[in-house]
């Protein structure tokens, strides 16, 4: 049915469905229903696909996604849209694309595709986050469904990437599989260093923090990572090629390692290196400035008014305090968080300024020490 009214989520109690998918559609005004094996008293998968105008599959394990979709084809509602949010289009344990191209779905006028949110379930805002999508079936109404989906996603201001299933799996090799393999190595080596691991990370400075935080975040999603690594079609190729570098390191072959590094850098253009370098330097400088001492505040949605940041910074100016970096961020609740780096963090005037800010604008001060 187009335009859609009801969105059905298969696996609606999972973290991604709960924190990302359901809010997206519900905030856009759609009725959202769902089913999940964790809720035996709720709707069944069959009941959802019979009613929903848009069906979104958000299920694990990855190797079973194709069979779950296949089993529901006989119950598909005509002229609807089926999307899956799996991190892999064609898992080695069960390719999804052929199932979505099933003749029975095409005969029913069901448009099929994928919608992959490139975020973890703890990321509640899609602003600036990457989302990959694509349509598969040759239905004549693909264009209107794509226009509907893109317009919906654009309201959240993400980075949209339209692609084929093959392009998706190739690109996620770099964006997901390689970092996840590295994170698994870090996890294994972390057991050797034990309590010294965190101390070493802090000693390494901002670049080290950023790298390790990304790895630790990956390790914290152990089930998803394990599913992706064991099902991605390019995993074995990466492991094979990575072993070449590991053997060279173990054997102490310096010239070979230097050549590998030089060849790797040669893949990038000067403009690409400049773009990534600018972003990296900005993050490093920001982390360093805030580490040296910052006045930090949380403001509620009611306190988060236009001009609040300007007013807060003005108070520090009035107290004669020099600022380094400033980070102002809206939080999912509608409130905001400010972290303001100050050169004279131990100066008594800092406390006076912070007290005045709390007194005049509310909020809570949660950190004011060198880190």
pLDDT in single tens digits along all 371 residues of the chain: 789 999 999 999 999 999 999 999 999 999 999 999 999 889 999 999 999 999 999 999 999 999 999 999 999 999 999 999 999 999 998 999 999 999 999 999 999 999 999 988 877 789 999 999 999 976 555 689 999 999 999 999 999 999 999 999 999 999 999 989 988 887 887 777 777 777 777 777 777 877 888 788 888 888 889 999 999 999 999 999 889 999 999 999 999 999 999 998 999 999 988 888 888 888 888 888 888 889 999 999 999 999 999 999 999 999 999 999 999 998 878 899 999 999 988 899 999 999 999 999 999 987 656 65
Q: Find tokens 């298969």 and name the residue.
A: 10
Q: Give yes or no for a contact between 137 and 105, defined as CB atoms under 8 angstroms apart.
A: yes
Residue 232: closest CA among 9, 101, 62? 62
Would you state the structure tokens that stand for residue 147, as one six-digit string? 């226009």
Domain ranges of the chain: 6-167, 174-265, 289-367
Q: Which residues of 132-152 are buried (b: 16+ CB within 10 A; e: fewer)?
A: bbbbbbebeebeebbebbeee
Q: Do 6-167 and 289-367 show the same overall fold? A: no
Omega before residue 30 within 30° of 0, cis: no
- R_g of the chain, CA atoms, integer Å: 25
Q: What string of H, E and C letters represents the secondary structure of the chain?
A: CCCCCEEEEECCCCHHHHHHHHHHHHHCCCEEEEECCCCCCCECHHHHHHHCCEEEECCCCHHHHHHHHHHHHHHCCCCCEEEECCCCCCCCCCCCHHHHCCHHHHHCCCEEEEEEECCCCCCCCCCCCEEEEEECCCCCCHHHHHHHHHHHHHCCCCEEEECCHHHHHHHHHHHHHHHHHHHHHHHHHHHHHCCHHHHHHHHHCHHHHHHHHHHHHHHCCHHHHHHHHHHCCCHHHHHHHHHHHHHHHHHCCHHHHHHHHHHHHCCCCHHHHHHHHHHHHHHHHHHHHHHCCEEEEEECCCCCCCCHHHHHHHHHHHCCCCEEEEEEEECCCCCEEEEEEECCCCCHHHHHHHHHHHHHHCCEEEECCCC
Alpha carbon 149 to chain centroid, angstroms: 19
Would you state the structure tokens that stand for residue 371, as one six-digit string? 């880190």
Whole-angstrom Cα distance, residue 309 to residue 293?
A: 19
Whole-angstrom Cα distance, residue 317 to residue 314?
A: 5
Whole-angstrom Cα distance, residue 370 to residue 294?
A: 7
At residue 253, the pLDDT reads 95
Give me the residues paired with residue 35 across strands: 10, 43
Question: In this structure, how many other beta carbons lie within 10 angstroms of the beta carbon of residue 211?
Answer: 15
**Assigned fold of 6-167:** Rossmann fold (3.40.50)
Level-2 CATH architecture, domain 289-367: 2-Layer Sandwich (3.30)
């Amino acid at each position: 049915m187009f335009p859609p009214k009801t969105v059905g989520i298969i696996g609606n109690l999972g973290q991604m469905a709960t924190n990302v998918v359901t809010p997206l559609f519900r905030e856009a005004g759609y009725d959202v229903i769902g089913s999940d094996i964790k809720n035996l008293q709720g709707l069944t998968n069959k009941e959802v696909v019979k009613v929903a105008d848009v069906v979104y599959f958000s299920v694990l394990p990855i190797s079973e996604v194709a069979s779950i979709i296949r089993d529901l084809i006989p119950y598909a509602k005509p002229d609807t849209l089926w999307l899956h949010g799996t991190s892999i289009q064609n898992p080695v344990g069960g390719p999804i694309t052929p199932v979505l191209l099933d003749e029975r779905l095409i005969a029913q006028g069901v448009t099929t595709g994928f919608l992959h949110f490139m975020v973890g379930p703890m990321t509640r805002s899609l602003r600036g986050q990457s989302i990959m999508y694509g349509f598969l079936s040759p239905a004549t109404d693909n264009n209107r469904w794509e226009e509907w989906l893109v317009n919906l996603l654009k309201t959240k201001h993400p980075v949209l990437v339209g692609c084929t299933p093959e392009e998706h799996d190739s690109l996620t090799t770099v964006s997901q599989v390689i970092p996840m393999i590295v994170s698994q190595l870090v996890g294994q080596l972390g057991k050797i260093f034990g309590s010294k691991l965190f101390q070493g990370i802090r000693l390494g400075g901002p670049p080290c923090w950023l790298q390790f935080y990304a790895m630790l975040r990956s390790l914290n999603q152990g089930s998803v990572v394990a599913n992706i690594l064991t099902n991605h079609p390019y995993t074995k190729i990466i492991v094979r090629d990575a072993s070449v570098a590991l053997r060279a390191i173990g054997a102490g072959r310096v010239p070979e390692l230097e050549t590998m590094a030089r060849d790797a850098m040669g893949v990038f253009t000067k403009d690409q290196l400049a773009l990534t370098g600018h972003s990296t330097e900005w993050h490093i400088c920001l982390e360093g400035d805030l580490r040296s001492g910052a006045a930090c505040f949380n403001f509620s949605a009611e306190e988060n008014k236009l001009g609040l940041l300007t007013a807060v910074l003005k108070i520090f100016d009035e107290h004669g305090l020099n600022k380094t970096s400033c980070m102002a961020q809206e939080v999912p609740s509608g409130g905001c968080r400010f972290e303001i780096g100050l050169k004279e963090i131990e100066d008594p005037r800092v406390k006076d300024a912070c007290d005045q800010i709390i007194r005049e604008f509310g909020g809570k001060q949660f950190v004011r020490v060198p880190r």
